[in-house]
Amino acid sequence: MNLINYSHTGSRIALCGAALFLFISCGWGEFSARDAAPKAPMAVLFEIDGPLPQFAQPALFGVDTPSQFQLEKKIKRASNDILVQEIVFHIGAPQIGWTRALELSNAIARAAKRKPVTCLVTSADNQAYWMAARSCPTLLVAPAGDIALVGLAAENIFVKDLLDNIGIAIDVLAAGRYKNAAESLTRTDMSEASRETTTALLDSLHATFVSGISQGRKLPREQIDALIDNGPYTADDAHKAQLVDGVKSVGTLFTALSQKYEGGLVADYGKEAPKPIEVGDLFKLFSGKRPEATQDTKPKIALISLIGTIKSGRETDAIFAAEDSVYDLSLIETLAKAAEDKSVKAVVLRIDSPGGSALASDNIWEAVQALAAVKPVVASMGDVAASGGYYIASAATEVIAAPTTITGSIGVIGGKVVVQKAAEKWGVKSERIARGRNAGMLSPFEPFSEADRELLTRHIQHTYELFVARVSTGRDLPAEDVHAHAEGRVWSGADALKHKLVNATGTLETSIQRARKLIHDERIPVELYPQPRNFFEVIAEQLNAPTDEARLLSQLPGAQDATVLGQLLLRESVLAVSPHFLRIR
């Protein structure tokens, strides 16, 4: 039997002391490249479970870090490898959104066209089951596992009472009837507008959910609807209901495959040997100097990621950042570099953002428009590309959203965090001496006056009109048509296509193929741009981590979203941000 342990293969790191340089002196000799993959017929195992970032994170000691982008490349490589006889996907509970689940599912489906593919699920929720059911020719479940096919539910978390209890108020105004990004902070239930847009969004996603299972399992939609209403299912019941093709344990399946092929079952397929690190470069890094970068002049499509809350300023390269953020100055530099780089023939801009700063969004919009004037730019929407995220996408040559993408939310909110009652409760007093009638307008120690509200309303309305104008220009649509589908309303990608807010529905792979067609080169490679920095480059510039309080806070349902919105309101008074408290599972 040649069952390859999928934790590592022939690689070991020896850490001989607390200091990083001691690793170099006493442990370097024990860090070796992985054994070569077997040169014999084999089966390949891919694990899909837990956290999975879209793109590579800073790599410790040159070892590649798992990412969905790398995983999909490995799946494609395995499906084209003549030595690979079968591919197995062990699917647990991946912590990803619906669009990224769709993209992984499509990668599995493409592999299934070239190789025998089996998917084994253990305890599958709605998303994990849908991902497997729509793409796997053979779908198995573990004997003690279950299929929690129970249908989708949209849940919005409201924290107004919590804020009231600690004496904090969110004083917010909005442009757009559906612009409800702050409702979770200012209400205790859904408004009618929020209920309307959430219902429409859920209906669209449910239709995609049911049709995917129906087509994959070759069962009528009506039967899938009935099965959903009777879920969840034990392994045996799922088999009887034709939701899976069989019941088999992990050990039984893996052992059978490892014995079936001379090369066994390979669980670290495509894992690269760690890149050697020059000791001299390390000394340069820790002395504040970077190793000289080599210029890559080979033609390519640049894949630029825009993931997280949009903010003004410059990226700081914190290794253990509590949340993903997009900083306008840093991204604008990258976009300008791509525009000038002759080796970059087209750009795919991957957007997964609920929005953020209206000012930063507009700054980035102009940079994307300038880039699109000199080379094709295809915006690929991930799980969420709403409000400021959509604002930016609208400047691209073409915009592609998945049917499951949450997008739109063309609207603006403005306001501030008011801590007046909390200050009184804890004995904090404030005195202000001001010059100028509106100098205290954004003070956190008092709510807006009526005059303040009039001023802020004008500011917000101006920003909203600019937002509509930007979308009108970028999408080449009359402003009246944009406004008709704006006012802060969110759409699924499928519905956004109906309203011409996007050019087509598809995934990141669709966007890459479209970029290739626009430059008439079907074989040009795609590269992350700029290339991910390694661990040493990042740690040399800054060592910081969130406080214990921040880590604890991030675990509370809805608390991280509330914190992000609160931080944005403390930084800027006008935001283009979507209602990202919404959870659909």
Q: What gap in Å lies between CA 534 and CA 392, rounded to an integer?
A: 28
Token look-up 């589908």 returns: 485
pLDDT per residue as tens, the chain (585 positions): 344 443 333 333 333 333 333 333 333 333 333 344 568 999 999 999 999 999 986 555 445 568 999 999 999 999 999 999 999 999 999 999 999 999 999 999 999 999 999 999 999 999 999 999 999 999 999 999 999 999 999 988 899 999 999 999 999 988 888 888 889 899 999 999 999 999 999 999 999 999 999 999 999 999 999 999 999 999 999 999 999 999 999 999 999 999 999 999 999 898 766 655 555 555 555 555 555 555 678 999 999 999 999 999 988 755 545 468 899 999 999 999 999 999 999 999 999 999 999 999 999 999 999 999 999 999 999 999 999 999 999 999 999 999 999 999 999 988 899 999 998 889 998 888 888 888 888 899 999 999 999 999 999 999 999 999 999 999 999 999 999 999 989 999 999 999 999 999 999 999 999 999 999 999 999 999 987 665 555 544 444 444 333 333 333 344 445 545 555 555 555 666 665 445 666
* Listed residue (350, 316, 386) closest to 529, CA to CA: 350
Range list of β-strands (E), 286-335: 300-307, 309-311, 325-327
Q: Which two tokens stand for residue 17?
A: 């002391």
User: With helix as H, strand as E and coil as C, how does 256-298 read?
Assistant: HHHHHCCCCEECCCCCCCCCCCCHHHHHHHHCCCCCCCCCCCC
| pLDDT at position 221 | 97
| pLDDT at position 180 | 82
| pTM, two decimal places | 0.84
| pLDDT at position 305 | 95
Indicate the SS3 state at residue 310. Answer: strand
Q: CA-based angle 151:155:161, to the nearest 5?
A: 160
Q: Largest Cα–Cα distance of the chain, in whole Å?
A: 82
Q: What gap in Å lies between CA 421 and CA 231, rounded to an integer?
A: 47
For residue 249, give the DSSP letter. -
Q: What percent of the chain has pLDDT over 90?
A: 66
Q: What gap in Å lies between CA 371 and CA 373, rounded to an integer?
A: 5
Domains of the chain: 1-132+250-276 (3.90.226), 299-427+440-450+486-584 (3.90.226.10)
